[in-house]
């Protein structure tokens, strides 16, 4: 039996072999047929389509974004730089299902739903000409690694290197330098679409916005060979982009830092000018914001918190905050009275602490009035009225000075308009007159309106930038200069920089206002700071706060601007008012008084007294400036240079 089972069935084995061979042959023929059909499709039926697609996959013409010009301060310190960043981009042409890809990216990077929505929004707003769309601006090293590890499931997803704006000083320089923002559809309607075809950001605030044309540069082009994932494998031809021009500002970042420190976290603004050129040495608005977050991105919640804050960190108080200037307006009123022959420097009135217009019951009080003491400064001439800040003197003068004369004279100082050379968005304030009041309120101009305006109250409004111009004009003894941020532009060559248009000054006031009148006003403002130890009613209003140990001569004027009206007979009670209803504190000043190199305006929102609150801030800023002047002078002497003048 064992022998019989071991004999093979030859016929059966032949049949089995033939069957298997036939099946394999048929399968091979079918596969060859499929390949042949695919070949015919690729080579004949859809040749044009696939040839074009293949060529597109192999070679792409990409626009190259130019490097944005850098911004420096007056001493060469970098205020706005460009840094390399690893960014996440999508090659849309290489993605079959965009949403699936976004979901995959979100899983790999552990993104929130809001971040995924932001990526989707960027894709929707992208331009058809974009070779790829950057959906995340800045990736960490670990995120770059995760993308690399998961590349096989992230078709069309790239990590690209791009230059992004970086502000080394963050919020310290935010309102002065400005910032860039991501391009929007509205932006694309007003710029050259070719030059901005590869650009992702555009200047939106401050210097960045005003000098966009100089900073942007010119677009470049690249013809590159790419793989199926859209990654560049080889550059075939390239026309390099031209970097934007570097610009240098009058701004002194060290003085800017000193100004921020002087405000000590309080809401307010400081503008410091070089009175000789109008150059902005410092421009601070507090609270501020970090401009870098608008480049690297932030969550919707973070932006909502920033934009809805009651303290308005995005608002530039220095250029757009409009406030009643209070007693800092009095030097203008006094000089207007001199110019139009309503007073002389020798004229004296008796200040008993209150003023009334003839035939009216309303009483206009002095700043020192209390329920127990009417205050008053006694016998007052113009000089004493300035250093003691006599309200009664200026009530009386304003009541006798034709409003048209006062308004026109104040307008020559730059109030009621924006005189800045390169700050187009700066506020104009409000210089009210009878025509304005009739149009805005439907009411005539009353004598009481002039009285209120005499002490810088009523409808009169000014920005800190405008009051810095007022201080600079007084420092120049009547020569007004326009504020300017730009010092010079560099064209990238080794040649000398292209310097900005030289400053031009405008003479303020009629011919009747002589050099002696300006000098007497400066002397009066010196007394505000330096006149002391002569009894309470003989001291300058700021002497006790900043004048005791000062090593240089400063001229200044304090101001306290009322925010809410106090009824007749009532006493101002700061504790009873909300934070935002308290008085604003002002101080304008310049130094050294006889040869000024700095003029400034300080505004502390709802800060209280101008002398006690704003004056010490001004002193700290000017101290920092004077220290820098001494160091610069010493440095030049050490180098054997005789010219110790600062950069103008």
Which residues are the active-site residues? 327
Distance in angstroms (rounded) separating the CA atoms of residues 529 and 282:
22
Distance in angstroms (rounded) separating the CA atoms of residues 294 and 180:
7
Give the residue from 291, 170, 250, 109 showing the smallest Cα distance to 598: 250
| Complete edge-to-edge strand list for the sheet that includes strand 220-226 | 59-64, 220-226, 232-239
Tokens 């072999």 locate to 17
Residue 81 CB coordination number (10 Å): 15
Distance in angstroms (rounded) separating the CA atoms of residues 457 and 583:
12
**DSSP letters of 159-181?**
EEEEEEEE-TTGGGSHHHH-EEE
Beta-carbon contacts of 241 under 8 Å, excluding residues fewer than 6 positions away, are: 64, 65, 66, 67, 198, 217, 218, 219, 220
Burial of 14 (0-12, 13-18, 19+ CB in 10 A): exposed
Beta-carbon contacts of 413 under 8 Å, excluding residues fewer than 6 positions away, are: 332, 466, 469, 470, 473, 480, 508
Distance in angstroms (rounded) separating the CA atoms of residues 450 and 329:
13
Distance in angstroms (rounded) separating the CA atoms of residues 417 and 246:
30
Distance in angstroms (rounded) separating the CA atoms of residues 233 and 224:
7
Strand partners, 591: 598
Distance in angstroms (rounded) separating the CA atoms of residues 597 and 278:
10
User: Are 582 and 613 a contacting pair, CB within 8 Å?
Assistant: no
Tokens 């064209």 locate to 491
Distance in angstroms (rounded) separating the CA atoms of residues 352 and 350:
6
CA atoms within 13 A on the CB side of 484: 24
Distance in angstroms (rounded) separating the CA atoms of residues 25 and 124:
53
Distance in angstroms (rounded) separating the CA atoms of residues 285 and 263:
9
User: Would you call the peptide bond into 566 cis, given omega within 30 degrees of 0 as the criterion?
Assistant: no
Distance in angstroms (rounded) separating the CA atoms of residues 218 and 492:
13
Give the residue from 165, 223, 246, 173 showing the smallest Cα distance to 199: 165
Residue 169: C-alpha distances to residues 78, 97, 254, 294, 598 (Å): 9, 42, 10, 15, 23
Distance in angstroms (rounded) separating the CA atoms of residues 314 and 321:
12
């Amino acid at each position: 039996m064992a022998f019989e089972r071991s004999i093979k069935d030859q016929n059966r084995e032949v049949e089995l072999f033939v069957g298997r061979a036939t099946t394999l042959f048929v399968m091979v023929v079918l596969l060859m047929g499929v390949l042949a059909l695919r070949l015919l499709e690729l080579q004949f039926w859809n040749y044009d389509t696939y040839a074009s697609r293949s060529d597109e996959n192999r070679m792409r013409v990409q626009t190259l974004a130019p490097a944005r010009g850098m911004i420096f301060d007056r001493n060469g310190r970098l205020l706005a730089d460009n840094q390399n960043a690893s960014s996440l981009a999508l090659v849309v042409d290489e993605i079959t299902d965009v949403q699936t890809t976004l979901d995959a990216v979100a899983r790999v990077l552990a993104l929130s739903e809001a971040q995924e929505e932001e990526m989707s929004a960027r894709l929707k707003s992208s331009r058809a000409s974009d070779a790829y769309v950057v959906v995340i601006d800045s990736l960490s090293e670990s995120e770059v690694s995760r993308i690399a590890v998961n590349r096989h499931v992230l078709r069309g997803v790239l990590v690209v290197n791009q230059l992004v704006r970086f502000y080394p000083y963050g919020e310290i320089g935010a309102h002065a330098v400005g910032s860039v923002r991501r391009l929007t559809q509205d932006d694309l309607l007003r710029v050259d679409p070719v030059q901005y075809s590869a650009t992702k950001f555009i200047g939106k605030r401050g210097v960045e916005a005003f000098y966009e044309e100089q900073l942007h540069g010119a677009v470049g082009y690249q013809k590159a060979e790419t793989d199926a994932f859209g990654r560049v494998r080889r550059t075939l031809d390239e026309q390099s982009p031209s970097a934007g021009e570097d610009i240098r500002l009058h701004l002194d970042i060290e003085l800017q830092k000193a100004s921020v420190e002087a405000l000590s976290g309080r809401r307010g603004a400081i503008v410091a000018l070089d009175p000789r050129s109008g150059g902005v040495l410092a421009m601070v608005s507090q609270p501020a914001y970090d401009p870098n977050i608008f480049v690297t991105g932030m969550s919707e919640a973070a932006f909502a918190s920033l934009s809805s804050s009651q303290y308005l960190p995005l608002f530039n108080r220095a250029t757009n905050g409009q406030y009643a200037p209070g007693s800092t307006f009095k030097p203008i009123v006094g000089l207007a009275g001199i110019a139009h022959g309503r007073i002389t420097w020798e004229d004296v009135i008796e200040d008993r602490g209150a003023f009334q217009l003839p035939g009216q019951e309303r009483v206009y009080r002095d700043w020192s009035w209390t329920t127990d003491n009417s205050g008053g400064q006694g016998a007052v001439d113009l000089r004493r009225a300035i250093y003691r800040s006599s309200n009664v003197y200026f009530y009386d003068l304003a009541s006798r000075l034709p409003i048209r004369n006062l308004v026109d004279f104040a307008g020559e100082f730059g109030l009621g308009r924006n005189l800045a050379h390169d700050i187009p968005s700066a506020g104009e304030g409000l210089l009210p007159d009878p025509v304005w009041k009739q149009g805005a309120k439907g009411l005539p101009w009353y004598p009481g309106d002039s009285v209120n305006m005499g002490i810088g109250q009523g409808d009169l409004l000014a920005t800190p930038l405008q009051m810095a111009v007022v201080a600079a004009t007084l420092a120049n003894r009547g020569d007004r200069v326009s504020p300017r941020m730009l010092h010079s532009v560099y064209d990238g060559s080794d040649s000398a920089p292209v310097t900005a248009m030289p400053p031009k000054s405008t003479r303020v006031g009629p011919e009747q206002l002589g050099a002696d009148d300006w000098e007497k006003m400066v002397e009066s403002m010196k007394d505000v700071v330096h006149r002391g130890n002569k009894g309470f009613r003989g001291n300058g209003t700021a002497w006790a706060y900043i004048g005791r140990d000062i090593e240089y001569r400063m001229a200044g004027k304090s101001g306290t601007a009322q925010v809410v009206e106090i009824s007749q007979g009532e006493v101002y009670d700061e504790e009873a008012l909300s934070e935002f209803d308290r008085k604003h504190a002002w101080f304008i000043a310049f130094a050294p008084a006889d040869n000024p190199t700095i003029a400034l305006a300080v505004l502390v929102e709802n800060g209280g007294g101008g002398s006690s609150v704003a004056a010490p801030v001004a002193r700290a800023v000017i101290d920092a400036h004077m220290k820098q002047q001494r160091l610069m002078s010493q440095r030049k002497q050490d180098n054997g240079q005789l010219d110790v003048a600062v950069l103008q």
